[in-house]
Structure 1
Amino acid sequence: MTKNELILAYLDIWNERDPGAREELMSSVLTEDSVYADPDYAGLRGHAELSAAIGRAHQSFGDLRFTLGTVLGTHHDNALFTWNLGTVATGYDAVEFSGDRIHKVVGFFA
């Protein structure tokens, strides 16, 4: 996958409501030792911690879905992009790639 395809697949992880299907996506998109942080989470490690947080988030989001805003830039093993959660929230994510998967995501709410 290209870096842009990985970013889109990462957003698909957040939109996936079935835990089993979400784990399959995670395995192809995120490294096993992936790290996730945003204003609500200091540092989730690995697929299980992130998947549990996504499951809790779905209870709050209702039917809202994440969509890609703009890929602001990519260089070397890094990318910065904007996202939308329906029409109610926007933010930025900085990602660090490791090989053909994402290793680290740091999210910011706008």
Structure 2
Amino acid sequence: MTDFTALAERYLAAWNATGTDRRALIDELFTESAGYTDPLGAVTGRDDIEKFFATASEQFAGLRFTLHGPVDGHHDIARFTWHLGAEGAEPLVIGFDVLVVEDDRVAQVHGFLDKVPG
């Protein structure tokens, strides 16, 4: 049985990582043909996921993704809320992600943005 909280924490760690650390986490976490979709883009495969994460990291330099609240999951699906912001500050972005899991790895991400900068 998948530990959905640990999976969500590893997923956010991949968002927060840089360079080769990010790539290693993505390779470990995502299936080879994983997909990622949110209001800002849709990509398929680890290479494109890495590029998508890197672009966001550059855009929001100095900010970190953190888990907010419990992770809810059943069967092969997990959902959770995350915050993006500086430590101790009001989050700049709030989102909600749904992970589809295959053999304890992320096969698909469906992301939603609840709060974005104006």
TM-score, length-scaled by structure 1 = 0.92
Structure number, greater radius of gyration? 2
Tell me the distance in 1 between the aligned counterparts of 2:71 and 2:13.
Answer: 19
Q: Which moved more, 1:72-81 or 1:83-92?
A: 72-81
RMSD value over aligned CA atoms? 1.2
Secondary structure of 1:63's counterpart equals coil
Q: Which runs of 5+ in 1 are unaligned?
A: none
| Aligned length, in residue pairs | 108
Which residues in structure 2 correspond to 1:1-110 (within 5 Å)?
2-18=3-19, 20-41=20-41, 43-86=42-85, 87-110=91-114
Structure in which a larger fraction of residues adopt helix: 1
Secondary structure of 1:105's counterpart equals strand
Deviation at 1:70, TM superposition (A): 2.1
Amino acid at match of 2:11: Y
List 4+ stretches of structure 1 deviating above 4 A: none
Tell me the distance in 2 between the aligned counterparts of 1:14 and 1:54.
Answer: 6
Q: Which runs of 5+ in 2 are unaligned?
A: 86-90
Deviation at 1:44, TM superposition (A): 0.6
Tell me the distance in 2 between the aligned counterparts of 1:72 and 1:25.
Answer: 20
Tell me the distance in 2 between the aligned counterparts of 1:58 and 1:10.
Answer: 14
Amino acid at match of 2:82: W
CA contact (8 A) 1:71 1:79 kept: no
Tell me the distance in 1 between the aligned counterparts of 2:16 and 2:27.
Answer: 15
TM-score, length-scaled by structure 2 = 0.86
Secondary structure of 1:53's counterpart equals helix
The alignment-based identity, stated in percent, is: 33
